[in-house]
Structure 1
Amino acid sequence: MKLRHYLIILFMLLAAAPLFYFSNRASGPSDFPSIMMRDITDPLTRSDELTPAPDFTLTDMQGNPFTLSEQRGKVVVLNLWATWCPPCREEIPDFMALQDEMRDDVLFLGVSVDREGWEVVRPFVELMEINYPQVVDDGTVARLYGPIRGIPTTFLINREGYVEGYAPGMLHKERLRPLLQALIDA
C-alpha cells in the first residue's frame, strides 16, 4: 500500500475514535430521556414538561466537592469534553469569554471524560487558564445524562435546575449567547 492509503485509514480511525470511546463508556440504561435542543428564545416552545437536571457531586480541581444542585439560581452550561478532542478545544475560549461576560447569572461547568483523569486535565486547564470550574467524570455524568454519542456535548440548565435542552457538537458564543440571555431573562 502507498503512504496515502495508510494516512487515509489512520484519519478514518481517528475520526471514529470518539464513537468507540462512548459506546464502551456510557453503557447501560439511562434515567435521562434524550431531548433535542429547543429554541428557547421562542416562548411558544417552552413547556412545563422540562426534565429536572440529574444531580451529581464530583471533585473539582482544588479537591472540593462540586454539587450541581447547589448551583440553582444560576443558568448552568454543563459541557462534556476531553483534552484530546479538537472541537472541545476550539469552543473553550468562547466559553471562557461568555463566563467572564455573564458571570453574575451563568456558570459554565467543564466535565472532562478523559480516562487519565486529573493527570491530563489539570495541566491542560492550567495551560489554557480556563476560568470556570472543572470536574472529571467517573462515569456518573455520562450515565445520568446519556447516552452520550460524542463530545463535545453541552446541556443548558435553567435557574430552577431543569434541562432546557442539549447541543451535541461544538458551540460558538454567537449561537450560545442569545440562548443564555433568554434563560437569564426568563
Structure 2
Amino acid sequence: MAGGLPEVSLPCLGAGPDVRLADLRGPLVINVWAQWCPPCRDEAPYLAALQQKAGDKLRIMGIDYTDPRPELAVQFALDNKLDYPHLVDAEKQVRKPFKVGGPPVTVFVDKTGKFTLHNGALTSQEQLDQLVRERLGVQL
C-alpha cells in the first residue's frame, strides 16, 4: 500500500478549477490515459461501464497524460461516454508517484487517501470490477 496522493495540482481538461490530488479521498478510481494510446482506447468501455454502475458508491477521475492534442482528448472522452472529471498532466507530474512508464495506469484510492496501482491496460469488465472490490471494498 502506498502513502497518500501526491502534492500535485492539475488543471481540468476543458473547463473547471484545478484539482489538488492530495485533497482527494476515495473510494476513487483514477485512470491515467491519453487519446493517442491504443490500450487506453481498448479499456475505455470498462471505465464508462464502471461509471454507470457505480452511482454514488465510487467516484472516477481521468488524467490525460502528456497529450499533445487536448482537443482530441476531449473528443475521445465524449465519444466514449467517459463523463467523469478529467485532469491534464502535460508535465508528467504524476509519473513518479504513480510509477507511470506509459499510460494506462489505474489508481485505486481508499477513503483515507492511500492508493494502490494497476499498471497496464484493464483487460475486461470483470477484472476492473474485481479490482474495485478487492482494493476499495466496493460491491457493484
Number of aligned residue pairs:
135
Match of 2:19 among 66, 70, 94: 66
Show the 5 A alignment for 1:38-53. Answer: 50-53=2-5
Q: With structure 1 as the length reference, what TM-score do the two structures score?
A: 0.64
Answer with 1 or 2: which has the greater Rg: 1
Match of 1:85 among 29, 37, 60: 37
Q: Secondary structure at the match of 2:35?
A: coil
Alignment root-mean-square deviation, CA:
2.2
Q: Which has the higher helix share?
A: 1
Q: With structure 2 as the length reference, what TM-score do the two structures score?
A: 0.82
Match of 2:67 among 97, 115, 134: 115
Q: Secondary structure at the match of 2:7?
A: coil
Q: Secondary structure at the match of 1:125?
A: helix
* Alignment match, 1:166: 117
Distance 1:121 1:98, change over 3 A: same
* Alignment match, 1:133: 85
Shift of 1:50: 4.0
Assess if the C-alpha contact under 8 Å between 1:114 and 1:120 holds in 2: no
- The amino acid of 1:184's aligned partner reads G
Unaligned runs of 5+ in 1: 1-48
